[in-house]
């Protein structure tokens, strides 16, 4: 079997996302090592023995052109599925929320997911309206399943930068989520509130008395997101701004990469409902290795 980015991330790299290699995450570095033949020695936190062992195997793989970049999503999905297998389907409602229902092929968990429901079975998962989830959405939901946290939201909100190990991700959050969403919402605070309601959210602007709009979105039952919006002020020369707040328990339910991906999905759906989705220049929501 060829060594995949997930193999390197899981079995070799320190998973600290320190950025010393010049890439924001260990996973994005792993993808470059595998697909673009970067040397493992660019990570200064590996033992010489580990580097020597894997460099030999990677050299063989490069020579045989065994790895292609498009395998990353499938590979991540496979890994997330393997990780989730230790927690039974029956235990999911107690951990993630949702409810156990009778599906066509056996028991299923119906899980609310940003304005719709997902049906999860032992065989796989799809949206309750019959449409497919993307591979990366499935990775997100299997990661949520695998993480297995069960705490209810505490009501204490934290900015993305206040979550642990986010330093290297703040720029991505700004360019892929905050910036594009602020652009969609500029001059359209009321439409943001309407879009949030259409996705099952609530308008919290009056309660919070901060920002021009504040909307509460139950992205997943245990993972609420508070979207704060400050509109542009052309006279003062300020552009529109957006920030997301997360419950302090969020990292018990999702890893940071998944939180970032979920934020991109929220941005995409809100912009689509506002009617101003503009994907030009933005990545489709993917992990940074994708």
CB 288 to ligand SF4: min, Å: 11
Q: How far is the CB of 86 from ligand SF4 (least distance, A)?
A: 25
| CA 151 to the chain's CA centroid | 19
**Cβ closer to ligand SF4: 4 or 265?**
4
Closer to ligand SF4 by CB, 19 or 148: give it.
19
Tell me the closest approach of the beta carbon of residue 55 to ligand SF4, in angstroms: 14
Phi, psi of 159 (to 5 degrees): -70, 160
- CA distances to 129, 146, 238 from 274, rounded to whole Å, are 22, 33, 22
43 vs 274, which CB is nearer to ligand SF4? Answer: 43
Distance CA 276, CA 267 (A): 11
Q: What element of type H or E holds 57? A: helix 48-64
Round to whole Å and give the CA distance between 236 and 96. 45
- Which residues, numbered 45-104, are part of the site for ligand SF4 (CB under 6 A)? 45
Residue with the two structure tokens 């020579």: 63
Closest CA relative to residue 50, chosen from 85, 3, 82: 3
The nearest distance, CB 4 to ligand SF4, in angstroms, is 15
Q: How far is the CB of 165 from ligand SF4 (least distance, A)?
A: 10
- Residue with smaller CB distance to ligand SF4, 29 or 157: 29
Using the minimum distance from each CB to ligand SF4, give the nearer residue, 46 or 100: 46
Shortest separation between residue 53's beta carbon and ligand SF4, angstroms: 16
The Cα–Cα gap between 155 and 232 comes to 29
When asked if residue 43 is in the footprint of ligand SF4 (CB under 6 A), the reply is yes
Number of neighbouring beta carbons within 10 Å of residue 250: 27
Residue 25 or 263: the one with the smaller Cβ distance to ligand SF4 is 25
Cα–Cα dist 9/72, whole Å: 12
Q: Which of residues 3-32 bind ligand SF4 (CB under 6 A)?
A: 13-14, 16-21, 23, 26, 29
Task: Give the residues lining the site for ligand SF4 (CB under 6 A).
Answer: 13-14, 16-21, 23, 26, 29, 43, 45
């Amino acid at each position: 079997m060829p060594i995949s980015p997930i193999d390197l991330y899981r079995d070799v790299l320190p998973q600290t996302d320190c950025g010393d290699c010049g890439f924001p995450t260990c996973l994005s570095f792993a993808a470059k090592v595998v697909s673009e033949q970067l040397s493992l020695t660019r990570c200064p936190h590996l033992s010489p023995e580990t580097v020597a062992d894997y460099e030999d195997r990677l050299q063989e793989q490069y020579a045989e052109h065994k790895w292609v970049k498009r395998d990353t999503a499938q590979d991540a999905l496979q890994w997330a599925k393997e990780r989730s297998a230790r927690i039974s389907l029956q235990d999911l409602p107690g951990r993630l929320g949702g409810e156990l229902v009778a599906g066509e092929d056996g028991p299923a968990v119906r899980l609310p997911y940003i304005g719709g429901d997902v049906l999860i079975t032992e065989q796989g998962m799809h949206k309750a309206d019959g449409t497919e989830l993307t591979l990366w959405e499935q990775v997100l939901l299997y990661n949520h399943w695998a993480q297995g946290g069960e705490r209810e939201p505490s009501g204490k909100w934290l900015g993305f930068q206040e979550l642990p190990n986010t330093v290297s991700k703040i720029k991505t959050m700004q360019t892929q989520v905050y910036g594009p969403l602020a652009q969609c919402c500029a001059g359209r605070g009321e439409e943001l509130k309407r879009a949030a309601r259409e996705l099952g959210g609530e308008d919290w602007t009056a309660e919070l008395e901060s920002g021009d709009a504040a909307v509460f979105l139950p992205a997943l039952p245990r993972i609420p997101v508070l979207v704060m919006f400050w509109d542009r002020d052309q006279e003062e020369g300020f552009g529109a701004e957006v920030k997301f707040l997360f419950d302090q328990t969020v990292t018990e339910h999702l890893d940071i990469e998944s939180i970032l991906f979920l934020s991109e999905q929220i941005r995409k759906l809100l912009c689509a409902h506002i009617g101003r989705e503009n994907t030009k220049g933005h990545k489709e929501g993917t992990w940074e290795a994708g």
